[in-house]
């Protein structure tokens, strides 16, 4: 079973190109935190804290677009851990705007 999950992870990693902004979001009840890296894992910009509501989601969108413009990136992939139900609204909102959203389960 572990082999199948590793193969799936490798498939997702291979989809990331030099044109991608990779955004990881730490999901919380009221305030999420986003970080961005390039395809090599090098940090781009400063982290963004944003509220778990429409206004906060628009703040995230502006942040992503500004990083893409500043670094000439044309695609984005957004990863988040499915914490409780707090990720659902953001995931749906981003998907409706044609972002690729992936769920990441952290295991120890």
How high is the pLDDT of residue 108? 53
How high is the pLDDT of residue 15? 82
Task: Please compute the mean of the pLDDT values over residues 77-93 and round it to a whole number.
Answer: 93
Q: What is the pTM of this model?
A: 0.86
SS3 string of the chain? Answer: CHHHHHHHHHHHHHCCCCCEEEEEEECCCCEEEEEEECCCCCEEEEEEEEECCHHHHHHHHHHHHHHHHHCCCCEEEEEECCCCCCCHHHHHHHHHCCCEEEECCCCC
Task: Please compute the mean of the pLDDT values over residues 84-105 and round it to a whole number.
Answer: 94
The answer, yes or no, to whether residue 61 has pLDDT greater than 60, is yes
The answer, yes or no, to whether residue 96 has pLDDT greater than 80, is yes
The answer, yes or no, to whether residue 69 has pLDDT greater than 70, is yes
Identify the structural domains of the chain with CATH numbers, from first to last. 18-80+91-100 (3.30.420)
């Amino acid at each position: 079973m572990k082999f199948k999950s590793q193969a799936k992870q490798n498939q997702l990693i291979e989809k990331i190109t030099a044109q991608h902004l990779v955004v990881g979001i730490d999901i919380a009840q009221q305030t999420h935190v986003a970080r961005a890296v390039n395809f090599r894992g090098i940090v781009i910009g400063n982290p963004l804290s944003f509220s778990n509501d429409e206004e906060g989601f628009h703040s995230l969108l502006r942040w992503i677009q500004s990083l893409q413009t500043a670094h000439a990136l044309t695609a984005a992939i957004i990863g988040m851990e499915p914490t409780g139900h707090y990720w659902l609204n953001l995931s749906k909102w981003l998907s409706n705007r044609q972002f690729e959203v992936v769920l990441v389960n952290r295991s120890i």
